[in-house]
């Protein structure tokens, strides 16, 4: 500490100047659109706000149809839509195993099933409809399957274990 003060005083006597630290050269800015300067107010408070502010909830106003105003044609149910009701589907079972080489799915019947019935197979990646073409129990072809039987069903596409089988209500 004492030596430092001594050399400082010595430097003042002989006129030595303190060396300035050299900075790295500044990078040249690329030509392009000029950035808008940030306002001083924003500049001052830029780092102060650490926690993001909560978003304001959008208020949904309930809209009601005023009496006397006509309803748009698109929102009115058509006459044909009423007459053609969707086909109700009954859950017939869940696929427990699938054989990809022979394209056969194994499932336990919850409802009676016959050849020619419309079946809808729906799962996570599967969604198709088909008519029952072939059914087997222990590799023997059958015409009808009753409730509780475990049957093999020939399918048109690949299915997965856990996909549901639905029967068209007639």
Residues of the chain with pLDDT > 90, as a percent, come to: 47
Confidence of residue 40 (pLDDT cuts 50, 70, 90): low
Q: Which domains does the chain have, with CATH numbers?
A: 89-168 (2.40.30.10)
The reported pLDDT for the residue numbered 83 is 45
Contacts of 57 by beta carbon, 8 Å cutoff, 6+ apart: none
Confidence of residue 161 (pLDDT cuts 50, 70, 90): very high
The model carries a pTM of: 0.50
User: What tens digit of pLDDT does each residue of 51-99 get?
Assistant: 566 666 666 555 655 565 555 555 555 555 444 456 699 999 999 999 9
The reported pLDDT for the residue numbered 7 is 77
What is d(CA 107, CA 160) in angstroms, rounded to the nearest whole number?
A: 11
- Closest C-alpha to 94, from 79, 111, 76, 78: 111
What is d(CA 131, CA 118) in angstroms, rounded to the nearest whole number?
A: 4
Mean pLDDT of 131-152: 94
**Residue with the larger pLDDT of the pair 140 and 45:** 140
């Amino acid at each position: 500490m004492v030596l430092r003060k001594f050399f400082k005083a010595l430097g003042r006597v002989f006129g030595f100047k303190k060396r300035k630290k050299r900075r790295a050269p500044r990078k040249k800015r690329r030509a392009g659109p000029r950035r808008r300067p940030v306002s001083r107010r924003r500049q001052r408070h830029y780092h102060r706000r650490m926690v993001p502010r909560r978003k304001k909830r959008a208020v949904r106003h309930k809209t009601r149809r005023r009496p006397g105003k006509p309803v748009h044609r698109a929102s009115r149910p058509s006459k044909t839509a009423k007459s053609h009701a969707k086909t109700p589907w009954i859950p017939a079972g869940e696929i427990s195993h699938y054989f990809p080489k022979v394209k056969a799915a194994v499932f336990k019947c919850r409802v009676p099933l016959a050849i020619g019935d419309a079946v809808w197979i729906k799962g996570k990646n599967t969604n198709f409809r088909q008519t029952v073409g072939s059914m087997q129990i222990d590799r023997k072809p059958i015409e009808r399957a009753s409730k509780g039987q475990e049957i093999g069903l020939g399918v048109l596409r690949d299915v997965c274990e856990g996909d549901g089988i639905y029967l068209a209500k007639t």
